[in-house]
C-alpha cells in the first residue's frame, strides 16, 4: 500500500546567501519535514539577488531531490509567504570582524517588520517561523510584534547553534560522544551575554558538573561558547553557515516532530516565565510535543544562574527598546 505524501510550503529568505546554500538541500533531503512530506519551496531575496537565487533554484532542481515539489523565486514577500506552513527567516546582513550582533539591529530590524506583516497577512494558520538572521532574538521579537494576528508561539529564534556548540565543547573536554549529553540549556540572547548552563546536564546519566572544574566552566566554557560565532568569523573569514543551517534543521525538525521528552534550547517569546519580560524572545530549555514547544518549568536557580539570566533580560530589554523605535 502506498501512502499519499503530505505537502507543506516552506519559505526561505536570504535564499542566495551562505546559510541557505546548505539549508535548502537539507530541507530537500527530507531532514526537516520527514520522508513522507513533499516540500514546495519559496525562495525570497532582495531584487538585486533574485538572479542569484534563481541560480540556486536551478541547482536545487538539478539535484532531483525526491522531497522537493515546486520551487518559486521572488522578491515579493506577500507571494513568498502566501500559504506558508514554515518559514526560515535567514535573509539579513551578517556581522563582520569586530562588530556585535546587536550592531546589526539598525541594518536588519526593518526587514523583519515587513516580513512579519507579510506573514500576518498571507501565511497559513499553522505557520512556524524560525528567525536566523541577526540579532535573531530581537528580529523574532520584531516579526512577532508586526504580526498581531499570529499567536506569539509561532515565532522562534535560533539558539540551537549555541546549544550544539555547548555540547561539542563538552564532548571534546570529556571525551564523550555528543549523543550522550542531555539537559543542556542555553539561556537568554544569541549574543555574548548568553548563558550556557550545565547545572542540569548529564552525560551517560552522570552529572556533567561533577566532571569539570568550576574554573574551566566559568572562565573557559561559558565565554568560549558565547563567543564562538566571533571565533568562526575570525578563523573562517565569514560567519558560520553550514553549522547554522544544521542547527536550523535540528530546531525546525524537533518543533514539528517532537523531542521525545528531551530538552533542546529554543528561543521563544516569553510568557513571563523565570522572570523574563513577556514578549522578549529568550533562550530556554524546552521540550517539543505535538507540534508545540513547552519551556521546562520549575527549575531552581542559584544566585549564579539568576545573575546570568538577569544580564540577558537586561540586554534584550535594551534591544527591544531600540526595536520598538523602528516601528
Which residues would be at the binding site for ligand NAD (CB under 6 A)?
A: 13-14, 16-19, 44-46, 49, 90-95, 111, 132-134, 136, 158, 161, 190, 239-241, 244
d(CA 148, CA 114): 13
Binding positions for ligand LMR, rule: CB under 6 A: 94-95, 101, 134, 161, 190, 229-230, 232, 239-240
Residue positions forming the annotated binding site for substrate: 95, 101, 134, 165
Residue (47 or 98) nearer to ligand LMR, CB: 98
| Residue 190 appears among annotated catalytic residues | yes
Residue (193 or 239) nearer to ligand LMR, CB: 239
DSSP string covering 217-234: IIIIIHHHHHTHHHHHHH
Q: Which of 127, 249, 102 is nearest to 189 (CA)?
A: 102
Q: Which of 117, 92, 127 is nearest to 11 (CA)?
A: 127
232 binds, among ligand NAD, ligand LMR, none (CB under 5 to 8 A by kind): ligand LMR
Q: Looking at beta carbons, which residue is closest to ligand LMR? A: 229
Q: Could you tell me the three cell numbers for 138? A: 530581537
Q: Closest approach of Cβ 192 to ligand NAD, in Å?
A: 13
* Contact between 305 and 283 (Cβ < 8 Å): no
Catalytic residue, candidates 154, 163, 190, 251: 190
d(CA 255, CA 264): 10
3-state secondary structure of 87: strand
Q: Looking at beta carbons, which residue is closest to ligand NAD? A: 17
Q: Could you tell me the three cell numbers for 48? A: 538585486
167 binds, among ligand LMR, ligand NAD, none (CB under 5 to 8 A by kind): none
Residue positions forming the annotated binding site: 14-20, 95, 101, 108, 115, 132-134, 165
Q: Closest approach of Cβ 240 to ligand LMR, in Å?
A: 4
Residue (100 or 172) nearer to ligand LMR, CB: 100
Residue positions forming the annotated binding site for NAD(+): 14-20, 108, 115, 132-134
* Contact between 249 and 27 (Cβ < 8 Å): yes
Residue (47 or 205) nearer to ligand NAD, CB: 47
146 binds, among ligand LMR, ligand NAD, none (CB under 5 to 8 A by kind): none
Q: Could you tell me the three cell numbers for 120? A: 500576518
* Contact between 87 and 11 (Cβ < 8 Å): yes
Residues in CB range of 209: below 8 A, 6 or more apart: 198, 199, 201, 217
Q: Could you tell me the three cell numbers for 198? A: 550545565
d(CA 140, CA 133): 9
Q: Closest approach of Cβ 306 to ligand LMR, in Å?
A: 25
132 binds, among ligand NAD, ligand LMR, none (CB under 5 to 8 A by kind): ligand NAD
Residue (53 or 161) nearer to ligand LMR, CB: 161
Where in the sequence numbering do the catalytic residues fall? 190
Amino acid at each position: 500500500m502506498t501512502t499519499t505524501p503530505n505537502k507543506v510550503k516552506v519559505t526561505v529568505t536570504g535564499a542566495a546567501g551562505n546559510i541557505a546554500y546548505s539549508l535548502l538541500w537539507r530541507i530537500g533531503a527530507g531532514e526537516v519535514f520527514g520522508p513522507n512530506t513533499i516540500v514546495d519551496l519559496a525562495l525570497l531575496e532582495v531584487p538585486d539577488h533574485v538572479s542569484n537565487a534563481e541560480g540556486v533554484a536551478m541547482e536545487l532542481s538539478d539535484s532531483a531531490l525526491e522531497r522537493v515539489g515546486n520551487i518559486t523565486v521572488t522578491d515579493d514577500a506577500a507571494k513568498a509567504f502566501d500559504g506558508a506552513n514554515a518559514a526560515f527567516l535567514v535573509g539579513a546582513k551578517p556581522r563582520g570582524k569586530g562588530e556585535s550582533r546587536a550592531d546589526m539591529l539598525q541594518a536588519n530590524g526593518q526587514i523583519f517588520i515587513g516580513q512579519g506583516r507579510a506573514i500576518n497577512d498571507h501565511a497559513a494558520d499553522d505557520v512556524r517561523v524560525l528567525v536566523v538572521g541577526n540579532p535573531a532574538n530581537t528580529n523574532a521579537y520584531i516579526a512577532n510584534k508586526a504580526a498581531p494576528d499570529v499567536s506569539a508561539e509561532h515565532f522562534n529564534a535560533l539558539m540551537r547553534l549555541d546549544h550544539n556548540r555547548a555540547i561539542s565543547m563538552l564532548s571534546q573536554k570529556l571525551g564523550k560522544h555528543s549523543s550522550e549529553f542531555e539537559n543542556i540549556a542555553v539561556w537568554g540572547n544569541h549574543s555574548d551575554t548568553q548563558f550556557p548552563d550545565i547545572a542540569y546536564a548529564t552525560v551517560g546519566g552522570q552529572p556533567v558538573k561533577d566532571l569539570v572544574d568550576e574554573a574551566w566552566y566559568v572562565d573557559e566554557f561559558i565565554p568560549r561558547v558565547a563567543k564562538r560565532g566571533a571565533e568562526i568569523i575570525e578563523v573562517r573569514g565569514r560567519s558560520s553557515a553550514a553549522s547554522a543551517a544544521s542547527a536550523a534543521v535540528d530546531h525546525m525538525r524537533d518543533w514539528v516532530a517532537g523531542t521525545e521528552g528531551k530538552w533542546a534550547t529554543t528561543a521563544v517569546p516569553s510568557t513571563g516565565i523565570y522572570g523574563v519580560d513577556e514578549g522578549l524572545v529568550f533562550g530556554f530549555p524546552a521540550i517539543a510535543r505535538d507540534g508545540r514547544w513547552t519551556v521546562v518549568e520549575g527549575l531552581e536557580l542559584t544566585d549564579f544562574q539568576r545573575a546570568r539570566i538577569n544580564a540577558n533580560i537586561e540586554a534584550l530589554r535594551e534591544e527591544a527598546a531600540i526595536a520598538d523605535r523602528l516601528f
